[in-house]
Structure 1
Amino acid sequence: MSIAIAVAALALARRGAVELEVRSAGLIGKWEGEPNESMIAAARRLGLDLTAHRGQQITLDMLSWADSVLAMDAAVLETLRAICGEANERKLGPYLGDRELPDPMGKDQEAFHACAVLIEAGTALHVGQQ
């Protein structure tokens, strides 16, 4: 779901304060360095440009750098808790509160669009209205 996280990073940055720096990374490096054309198209429908985005795997350095780490679903959150260490655990939280983001991989373009819409709506949970 690294590509979903990239949409979240752009959507949060677009809604956030100028000084907000948002990064994205996934748990596994399966798509590291690769674009995802389906999510690029879904993001474009929302006015977000993912054409330069390439997947990357999360590192302990990234976890240490971040003030907050948002997971797209409970399984990812649990995995992050297992790898992040006690010093970083307080930074972890769910992106959509008590909802899980459905993984669009392997599905049609409308599933990617629905995922992107949920991600964009979820920004309101983390960054105030501008």
Structure 2
Amino acid sequence: MLAWADTVLAMDNDVLKELHELADEQAAPKLRLYLDGQDVHDPWEDAYPAFLICVKTIQADADRHLA
């Protein structure tokens, strides 16, 4: 799946690290963290407001990833 993608965005550094372990030399440059230098908090098992914060965070930075 990494081969056909133009860009692969990870929401946190742990996932980015795992993707780098799976990626070959051609796929590795396509891997990036969604937010430069910081993780998007995973709201799993959090209260509903945490999900809203996550959505707003993702929406706020979506433009820089879309053509």
- The two structures have a TM-score, normalised by structure 1, of 0.49
The one of 64, 71, 91 aligned to 2:10: 71
Q: d(CA) in 1 for partners of 2:66 and 2:27?
A: 21
Aligned to 1:88: 27
Q: d(CA) in 2 for partners of 1:124 and 1:87?
A: 25
Contact 1:96 / 1:125 at 8 angstroms: preserved in 2? Answer: no
Aligned residues: 67
- The two structures have a TM-score, normalised by structure 2, of 0.90
Report Cα offsets for 1:59-89 as digits up to 9, x if no partner. Answer: xxx2111010011011111100001122210
**Which structure has the highest strand share of the two?**
2
Q: d(CA) in 2 for partners of 1:126 and 1:98?
A: 15
Stretches of structure 2 that go unaligned for 5 or more consecutive residues are none
The Cα of 1:125 is off from its aligned counterpart by 2.3
Aligned to 2:37: 98
Q: Find runs of 4+ consecutive structure 1 residues off by over 3 angstroms.
A: none
Aligned to 2:58: 119
Aligned partner of residue 70 in structure 1, secondary structure: strand
Aligned partner of residue 121 in structure 1, secondary structure: helix
Q: How does 1:1-130 map to 2 (within 5 A)?
A: 62-127=1-66
Q: d(CA) in 2 for partners of 1:99 and 1:121?
A: 14
Q: d(CA) in 2 for partners of 1:85 and 1:66?
A: 13
Q: What RMSD in Å do the two structures reach over aligned CA positions?
A: 1.2
